[in-house]
Amino acid sequence: MAHRIVVCSTCEGGDGKAFAARIRAALAARSMEFSVEDHDCMSNCARPLSVAFSAPDKATYLFGDVDPLRDLDDTLAFAALFAETPNGWIEDARPAGRLRHCLIGRVPA
């Protein structure tokens, strides 16, 4: 599976493992092909909860201050935008709602 979402599992203020599981289930229900992993630490402790999107030959995105209770739909909306782009470069992230304001960085492919 080429598209990947990584969720910090040790960030304070949010259960990253549970959020990763919710993302995984919601993507499967929508037949969206992503691997979803939780990772022990993404070194973004000042802005928990951290979520990253990556894929081969695509830009990588890192988000912080993600609220696992209210940002699931916006995370899924961003996943759809990310999957649709050939290089991962998203020019208009408004469909991703609040999540677009949580962006820390975008690294070109």
102 within 8 A of 82, measured Cβ to Cβ: no
Distance in angstroms (rounded) separating the CA atoms of residues 109 and 106: 9
What is the per-residue pLDDT across 71-82, written as a single tens digit (0 to 9) for each?
999 999 999 999
27 pLDDT higher than 90:
yes
Domains and CATH numbers, the chain: 4-107 (3.40.30)
pTM: 0.94
Half-sphere exposure of 67 (CA within 13 A, CB side): 10
- pLDDT at position 26 is 97
41 within 8 A of 8, measured Cβ to Cβ: yes
